[in-house]
Structure 1
Amino acid sequence: MTVDGYTSVAELDAALVECRACPRLVEWRERVAREMRAAFRDQTYWGRPVPGFGPTDAPLVIVGLAPAAHGANRTGRMFTGDRSGDVLYAALHAVGLANQPTAVHAGDGLELRGVRITAPVHCAPPENKPTPAERDTCGNWLRAELRLLSPRAVVVLGAFGWQSLLPVLADAGWAVPRPRPVFGHGVHVELPGHNSVLHLFGCYHVSQQNTFTGRLTPAMVEDVLTRAADVAGLTR
């Protein structure tokens, strides 16, 4: 089967990492990779679009925002090498969806079980703020990925991801009600599709702004992941 020109998630990922569609993002991600951060000067930055990470048949998908300039833009793997990833992967491990609680670099042995992590924007943006045009352009990748995966559940980290994802889901064939569902931590929405219902969950983003202030705790992340894993058919 061909979806948006791709026969598999692996084929889509191979094309995605070569994307240069957004000049501002290309310039920024490559400049960061050249200039680096002092603590990482002995490393070679990825400096390209970051593909999704996890099984290509995952029934559960986690949608973030965009790669961090010195996190995934450095390591080449979603939520790897930054404080946000520390929280997310520890929670995934705690609920039985990852084989280890840490994500340091792409060759560290981390494996996910039944979960794939992706984003509406695949390049690190300046000030962590993609433009609406960049979001919409990159949304084509996310739409194709979701169509190929056909997940049972999606956990969205943060309001930006939620707002970016809803039109993508509509384009991909799921029925998004109007007015559109409002983001909130713990929100659960069921969206009818061609073959099955998609369970959509909201979770505050695992950013330092949320985790350092206590707005988001590890227990809160684990609760949402557990609920999503249950409806996705993943058991510990």
Structure 2
Amino acid sequence: MTTTDSASEPARRAPGARTLAELDERVSRCRACPRLVAWREEVGRTKRAAFADWDYWARPVPGFGPPDAALAVVGLAPAAHGGNRTGRMFTGDRSGDFLFAALHTVGLANQPTATHRDDGLALRGVRITAPVHCAPPANRPTPGERDTCRPWLERELRLLRPTLRAVVVLGAFGWQAALPALNAAGWAVPRPRPAFGHGVRITLEATDGGAPLRVFGCYHVSQRNTFTGRLTPAVLHDVLGAAAEAAGLLPPPAAPLTPAPEGG
């Protein structure tokens, strides 16, 4: 495959995936971005001392979760020694520790930890993905890499279209990538596009007359945000809980009881 062919790989191969399992397999073999390919494989060879005995995944990391998910969580990209090591989104690093603990508290994961692909973790009604599937140097993909990878996200969202009712987007980079992908996947994004902000909530109408989609902005679960207290467990629980309720995965909170009038 030539460099030119590699660069167009997502755009050529994503639309033909008929199921999420097929899409995930195609994603895991992508070599479209030379800088990311070189970095993920170099990290897999040199490793981190704490993980010297690991056989790193060192490939693109596909999405994770059931094919009939009602809620999607969109991050940024796999971590070099997290998803790039374990082969599963948000697995094996502190950001994942924070996210999966919150999903478990809300009732969307069967356990609060994620350490490796065969650790028994299962998600309930939630699919986790990212706009860039390879670990980038310094955790910073370029806009060009984001755009090259976008067809994978577009197809993933299109395949989730029958059941997807809500999306939580973690961080500004994910927001900038997710809105065009959602538009391409069948939801009308207003112009100008809504700006990212923690707590932003928008409703996108389906272009095919189907169910609308609720989109929630949330600070990313990066250590910079969680260590400084910008994003706390309680704040993340609130966002995930509201999104799960919008997706029909949780019942709405019970209305407070009205006290009976005195006397009479």
Question: Under TM normalisation by the shorter chain, which class is it?
Answer: over 0.9
For 2:97, the equivalent position in structure 1 comes to: 86
Superposition pairs for residues 215-234 of structure 1, below 5 Å?
215-234=230-249
RMSD value over aligned CA atoms? Answer: 0.9
SS of the aligned residue for 1:19 comes to coil
Instruction: Give distance in 2, aligned partners of 1:20 and 1:229.
Output: 34
Report deviation, 1:171: 1.5
Taking the TM superposition and a 5 Å limit, the aligned residue runs for 1:141-152 are 141-150=152-161, 151-152=164-165
Residue identity in the other structure for 1:155:
V
2:185 matches 1:177: no
1:27 aligns with 2:38: yes
2:164 is the counterpart of 1:154: no
Match of 1:122 in 2: 133
In structure 1, the partner of 2:8 is: none
Give the Cα–Cα distance (whole angstroms) in 2 for the partners of residues 21 and 57 of structure 1.
28
In structure 1, list runs of 5 or more residues that go unmatched: none
Question: TM-score w.r.t. structure 1 length?
Answer: 0.97
SS in structure 1 at match of 2:174 = helix
TM-fit CA distance, 1:22: 0.6
Query: Between Structure 1 and Structure 2, whose CA radius of gyration is higher?
Result: 2
Is 1:55 matched up with 2:70?
no
* 1:127-167 alpha-carbon deviations (Å, 9 max, x no partner): 11111111001110000000000111000000100011111
- What is the CA-CA distance between 1:187 and the residue it aligns to? 1.1
1:63-212 → structure 2 map (5 Å cutoff): 63-150=74-161, 151-193=164-206, 194=208, 195-212=210-227
CA–CA separation in structure 2 for the residues paired with 1:71 and 1:17? 16
Give the partner amino acid of 1:218: P
Identity of aligned residues (%): 71
Whole-Å separation in 2 of the counterparts to 1:164 and 1:172? 13
Cα separation, 2, equivalents of 1:209 and 1:147: 32
Alpha-carbon displacement from aligned partner over 1:26-49 (angstroms, at most 9, x marks no partner): 000000000000000011000000
| One-letter amino acid of the structure 1 residue matched with residue 98 of structure 2 | V
The number of aligned residues is: 234
1:226: how far off? 0.5
Q: What secondary structure is seen at the aligned counterpart in 1 of 2:188?
A: coil
Instruction: Give the Cα separation in 1 of the matches to 2:130 and 2:145.
Output: 12
SS in 2 for 1:192: strand
> TM-score, normalised to structure 2's length?
0.87
Instruction: Give SS of 2:169's match.
Output: strand
Q: CA deviation at 1:169?
A: 1.2
Give the whole-Å Cα distance in 1 for the aligned partners of 2:125 and 2:70. Answer: 6
Equivalence for 1:44 = 55
